[in-house]
Amino acid sequence: MNDVHTIWHFDRTAALGRLDDDEGLLMEVMAQFVADAPAALAAIEAAIREGDGPALGDAAHALKGAAGYLAADDLCVAAQELEGFGRSGQTEAARDAWPRFSALANSMLSTLRATPPVA
């Protein structure tokens, strides 16, 4: 993981800006990400393990989109990298990138789980 930051700091203002300042929608997107991300991470890991580039590309693309709404730009970049590896069949490169990606995603999940809703 070298010098890569794996702690995600939630920028509520940036996330709200991406969702037209709709606090209710932000709460829905956060809850949906927390609900769906573990399965997406498992699908990405399985695709890497099985050398299934198309499945890797699809799963990474889906997670990238969801992370984008929450202003998780580092995770989006890492997901885009995995997506590219999947689309080009470079599953060995994806295997090398997985630890960083997984750490970023799990940091995001932990942060979102601990973020209280705004009243």
Pull the structure tokens for residue 95: 């295997």
pLDDT band at 9 (very low <50, low <70, confident <90, very high): confident
Q: What is the mean pLDDT of residues 12-33?
A: 94
Per-residue pLDDT reduced to its tens digit, 46-66: 999 999 999 999 999 999 998
Q: Contact, 66 vs 32, CB < 8 A?
A: yes
The pLDDT value given to residue 3:
44
Domains delineated in the chain: 23-114 (1.20.120)
The pLDDT value given to residue 6:
63
Per-residue pLDDT reduced to its tens digit, 83-94: 999 999 999 999
The 3-state DSSP class for residue 117 equals: coil
Pull the structure tokens for residue 59: 């799963």
Mean pLDDT of the chain: 91
DSSP annotation of 18? H
Q: What share of the chain has pLDDT > 70, as a percent?
A: 93
Pull the structure tokens for residue 23: 């606090």
